[in-house]
Structures are given as structure tokens and as C-alpha cells.
A and B are shown apart, each in its own frame.
Chain A
Amino acid sequence: MNKFLRVNDLKVYFPTDDGVVKAVDGLTFDLEKGTTLGIVGESGSGKSVTSLAIMGLHRGSRAKLSGEIWLDDVDLLKTTDEEIRAMRGRKMAMIFQDPLSAMHPYYTIGQQLTEAIRVHHHVSKKAAKVTVVDMLDRVGIPSADKRFDQYPHEFSGGMRQRAMIAMALINNPELLIADEPTTALDVTVQAQILDLMRDLQKEFGSAIIMITHDLGVVAEIADDVLVMYGGKCVEYAEVDDAFHAPDHPYTWGLMTSMPRLDRTRLERLVPVAGNPPSLINIPPGCAFHPRCAFREYASAPCNQVVPELVQSYPKHDSRCLIPAPKRAELFAEQIAPRL
């Protein structure tokens, strides 16, 4: 049986006056219902562009898309605008990072959620309101029937994000894409929202793609992890392997540069040197090589040879020119003691 979501060799290129921006360059992953994929990477690594491609939101822009996105045996890249509009919000839905700009300031929360139902279902406004109030209640908004008639600006940040989640879930989508849903929130509210997403996933069995730069959030919620760098996947593994036996120098860098509350305090952090690459001018060879602390161990000149994404262990892929046994050795000797 085919997986619920399969993304195959997805490329999203933006032609600009200065050259082609390869925002996503050959991304492949899949996702089963009821499971969560965490996509991690720094700003400009192509995380959000990927999610917009799945939602069909690059249509009408200058982006050039290629590859395949199979959702339940429909290739989303080949659907017409009509077809994808019928799926958007119903089959798949998205939670955006900033709910204040993702919601319409002139309409009440109730109007916006009611519309989301009535676009896809022929129901009366009255019946839709019952569903909306019930959903607002489920995501933990107190006195939902009163809140129904309020505008987004009358909600606090956490409440607004809950309303966004309610809007995304209102048609029971099978795929939910959350693009940095908790980045703008305080930790106490973030914990509430993550718990809520976990509970709702149990209830509805949706597949979730969680896009974030916070490794802590990924560890809490994801089953699989995909690490992106410069538009490409550099590591793809199950969450336990990704955190306990990370297999790419960039992932190591992310882990050693992060102070951790659950470990003894280290005297010094080990950051990744240098700056993220410009997507217009991606370094030749391995995009990460100018910042890599271990490039001397590569089996081929990594400023010339582009490494392939290779399965080094079962269900664990990485894109690196350092031989896998050497990587395991480097991790055990140099990285693990620093974590």
C-alpha cells in the first residue's frame, strides 16, 4: 500500500533578476496518517517553501515547481486550481506562524471559521455556528460562544493561535501542516498548544508536518525528523536516531550550539562557524562544506562533489562525503561528550 503523503524529488525554483533561487532542491519524504514529521532548519533552508508547495500556494507566483507530491494517490502538482481549492482546508490544512497576519482583521473569528466550513459543506450558518463553537471549545478557548463574535485583535497571542488551530481542524483535515506554530508564543502557552496538537492528532488521526527551528519542539512531538540545509535534506531519520545518533555534521552543529536545560551546564557552547548560505549562490559541492568542522575527513573533495542522500543505517539517511563509519567514530569521540 502506498503511503498517505509521498513527496518525490520536489524542486521549487524562483527565477530572479540576480539568478535562480533554488529554495527547495530535490526533496523526498513520506508520511503516514497519525504520525508527525518534524522539518528542522535555519531561516532560508526551504522549510516554509516546502509546505507552501504542498498546499499549492505557489500557484500564481513565479515559482517553478517540479517533482511529485502524492496525497492519497493524487499528484497535487498536476491538479487544476479548482481541484486543489476543493482539497485545501478540507483534505489538508495549514497553521501559520503569525496568526494575526494570517487572519482577516475585519471579520470576527466566528465569521472566518464559519466560512471555512461553508466553503466545503452545504450547511446553514446556524448549523455551522454550532460546529464552530464546539471546535473553539475543544481547542480550549473559554466561553467560546461569546468569543465567536470577537475580532482577532481581541484575542491574546495564545488564544489567537488556538483559533487558528480550530480553523485548520474544522473540516477534519487528514494532513495538517504547522509552520512554526509556537515560535511567537511564550513557553507556558507553547506547552499548552503542543499538548493540544498531540491530543487532537490522537482523536482525528491526522498526519502532521511540524516545521520548526526548535529541536526541543521536534523531540516532543515528532516521529520522524528531516533536517534541511540550503534547500536540501541533509539528514532524515526516526526521532530517536536523529537525537541519539545524529549522522550529519550540520545536525551535530545544531546540537552542540544549543544550551540544554536537561543536562549539566557546559562552560562553553560549540557553535557552527560562519553564516547560512545565500540560496542564489549556494556553495559548490556540499552546501555545508564552508561551515563544516570535519571536512578534512571527506572521502572526496567536498567543495566540488555534491554528496548524495544515502541510507547509512536502516531508516536513516544522510548527505555527507565523510564515510559512515568515520562519522560514527567522530560523533562518538567528539560530539557525544559535548552534549
Chain B
Amino acid sequence: MSLLTVTDLRKHFPTYQQKLVRVEGAPIKAVDGLTLKLEAGETLGLVGESGCGKSTAGRTILRLLEPTSGTIEFEGKDVTNATGSELAHLRRQMQMVFQDPYGSLNPRHPIGAIIAAPFLIQGIKPEGGTKRAVQELMERVGLNPEHYNRYPHEFSGGQRQRIGVARAIALKPKLVVCDEPVSALDVSIQAQVINLLEDIQQEQNLAYVFIAHDLSVVRHISDRVMVMYLGKVMEVADRDALYERPMHPYTQALMSAVPVPEPRRDRERILLTGDLPSPQNPPSGCVFRTRCPIATERCAAEVPMPTELEPGHLVACHYPQVRTVL
């Protein structure tokens, strides 16, 4: 049994137009048919451009947003329809680290109280008292336990993100959804937090859903990688397979666009023209076809289904082709 099983998950946000009366418009299909499996201790990287639905997917999996349809199962238990104490109990094992180390910590609470909040909310009394547990957590994430009574503004961005990590691992969860946990940090600090996340994963056999737009960070931390575009999954594969043999033209374009720190290296660039279409009015057929360099008429007519072309390597494209970009 997998730790997490998500089947055909959809999250549509309704839109309204104010005419004489309020009229419902076409919904924004932020996540449109997401299927994934995650094993204990595994890291799944979720990449894509802004607006592709990766954050919405992460939040919907934890039911911070209510799914429109589809099912989410955690260790065989249904999360989709869980309520009350059942959901609270499940949430002990599923936590989240947020992107913004400034916005995700209450400025009026000392960090001791912030890290203790999960114990309080879940009504758990850790052995040796909450304060000791919090100080152990602070020590674990590399903060000085004596700073228990300090407020978030007294910490730097990297330290705040450590506070967020401490809070997320307080209840020893089995799954943590990390939503762009390092993108607001400086390069030298980014690596500190990535190493911390990796160490904690090893110690506690944690599974991560790691959401990021930085393909190099995702390659570093993930076991498997999923590429999303306009709410749909374009390609899923094991890390090395995806980076060494990408088959979807979108994955290839994304990789070729990453600037590498190697001056005067002439690299073949797959330039995408134009911008992301509106998720309210996505293109017919394949959603990527308006920017795809190899699109044909068939792509406008038929929606490509994710197909397993190699074991564990799913591609949603009518014309998949291995192309080495790196």
C-alpha cells in the first residue's frame, strides 16, 4: 500500500461575472486530473511555471482546499471525505512548509509558541513537556534553543524557514508538502535548508511533495519528478530518466531555458514563444499546443492521455520523442 494515492484530482475555482444578476462564468481549472502515488520516505518533485497549478495541487492534497472531484487516500484511508476528528487525526501525519518565511509565521507570537502550536491544536502532551519538545525541535533544525521567546522579525529569512520546518516536523508526520520552501532564500542559505530537509527525511523516513519552479533544486532533492502545465500533468518519471531522457516537448523546453553557470557555453535552446494561456480558457486538445514547437492539427483535436512509454515514465503527448537537452 502506498503512503499517498491521489486519483484524478480536480480543483476548479468558480468565477463570476456581475451583470444584472451574478452569472457564473467558466471555472478556472487550476488542477485538472492529477493522479499520483507516493511511497514512504520518497520525494516527489512537482515543477512547472507559475500558474500551472502546482501549489493548488499541494494544498488540495492536504485538504487545505476542498477538491472539486477525485480521491485522496493516505495509507489506505480516505482523506477526500474525512471530517472532524478523523481529518484532524490524518493531518497529524500530513504537514506543510510554506514558501513565504515572512507571511507564514504570526508576527505577534514568539517562535516557541509557533512551534508549539501543533501540539496544542492536536492536544498532544509530549514526554518531558511541550517546552522541552520545542527546544529539541529548534536544536534539530539548527536554531539556538535559547531563542525560544524571540519573535519572527528577529530572525533572518533562512532562520525563519527553519522555524517553518520545525513546526512541520513537530508531530513526526509521514508526509510533508513543501511549497517552494527555498525560493525566497539567498543561494548560500538555500543549500543549508535543502540539506536540513534531506537530513530530516533520512532520520524520520519522511515523504516529501516538493513543489518548486527551480529545476536544478528539484533534480537535487527528488526521487521522482512530475511536470505540470496549465493544471495538467505533462510528464512523470524517475529523476534520472526525466532529466536525461525527457520526452515531452514542454519538459525539454523548460530544461533548455535554465541558465547554467558555465560562461560561453553554446547550448541549443528550445525557445517557447508567447505566454501561458489563461487557465479559464485553456486551448482545446493538448493545453500546451499553443506554445509547442511540434504541434499539429491532431493536438488541437485530441487530448493526449498520459501513457507509460517506459516503466514508470508517463508522457502526455501525441508525439513523444527522447531529446537530450542538458
Q: Which residues of A have CB within 8 Å of B220? A: 259, 265-266, 269
On whether A270 and B259 interact (CB within 8 A), knowing A189-B275, A261-B243, the answer reads no
Interface residues of B toward A: which range? 35 or more
Residues 22-40 of chain B, each 1 if its beta carbon lies under 8 Å from chain A, else 0: 0000000000000000000
Contacting residue for A187 out of B188, B194, B215, B273, CB 8 A: B215
Q: Which residues of A have CB within 8 Å of B264? A: 239-240
User: How far is the CB of A207 from the nearest CB of chain B, in Å?
Assistant: 18
Tell yes or no: B20 within 8 A of A by CB.
no
On whether A275 and B156 interact (CB within 8 A), knowing A265-B219, A269-B194, A270-B191, the answer reads yes
Which residues of A, 1-49, contact B by the 8 Å Cβ criterion? 42-43
Q: Which residues of A have CB within 8 Å of B156? A: 275-276
Contacting residue for A261 out of B157, B191, B326, CB 8 A: B326
Which residues of B, 160-205, contact A by the 8 Å Cβ criterion? 186-192, 194-195, 198
Residues 244-260 of chain A, each 1 if its beta carbon lies under 8 Å from chain B, else 0: 00000000011111111
Segment of A121-129, A168-176, A190-198 engaged in the interface with chain B: A190-198
Segment of B63-71, B96-104, B250-258, B310-318 engaged in the interface with chain A: B250-258
Q: Is B158 within 8 A of A275, CB to CB?
A: yes
Most B Cβ at <10 Å: residue of A186, A239, A265: A186
Tell yes or no: B149 within 8 A of A by CB.
no
Tell yes or no: A310 within 8 A of B by CB.
no
Q: Is B254 within 8 A of A187, CB to CB?
A: yes
Q: Is B188 within 8 A of A272, CB to CB?
A: yes
Tell yes or no: B213 within 8 A of A by CB.
yes
On whether A219 and B261 interact (CB within 8 A), knowing A188-B272, A259-B220, A276-B156, the answer reads yes
User: How far is the CB of A271 from the nearest CB of chain B, in Å?
Assistant: 3
User: How far is the CB of A294 from the nearest CB of chain B, in Å?
Assistant: 15
Q: Is A214 within 8 A of B259, CB to CB?
A: yes
User: How far is the CB of B189 from the nearest CB of chain A, in Å?
Assistant: 7
> How far apart sit A157 and B275, CA to CA, in the bound complex (Å)?
9
Q: Is B213 within 8 A of A239, CB to CB?
A: no
On whether A239 and B259 interact (CB within 8 A), knowing A42-B186, A191-B271, A275-B158, the answer reads no
Contacting residue for B263 out of A192, A239, A270, CB 8 A: A239
Contacting residue for B260 out of A43, A189, A219, CB 8 A: A219
> How far apart sit A257 and B273, CA to CA, in the bound complex (Å)?
32
Tell yes or no: A215 within 8 A of B by CB.
yes
Contacting residue for B259 out of A219, A257, A271, CB 8 A: A219
| Other contacts beyond A188-B49, A216-B258, A257-B188: 9, CB < 8 A | A43-B157, A158-B275, A159-B275, A187-B215, A188-B272, A192-B272, A254-B187, A272-B191, A276-B188
Which residues of A are interface residues toward B (Cβ below 8 A)?
A: 42-43, 142, 156-159, 186-192, 194-195, 213-220, 222, 239-240, 243, 253-262, 265-266, 268-273, 275-276, 291
29 A-B pairs with CB atoms under 8 Å apart are A43-B157, A186-B213, A187-B213, A187-B254, A188-B257, A191-B257, A192-B271, A192-B272, A215-B187, A216-B260, A217-B259, A219-B260, A220-B263, A222-B263, A257-B191, A261-B215, A261-B219, A261-B258, A261-B260, A261-B326, A262-B261, A262-B326, A268-B198, A269-B191, A271-B189, A271-B190, A271-B195, A272-B188, A272-B191
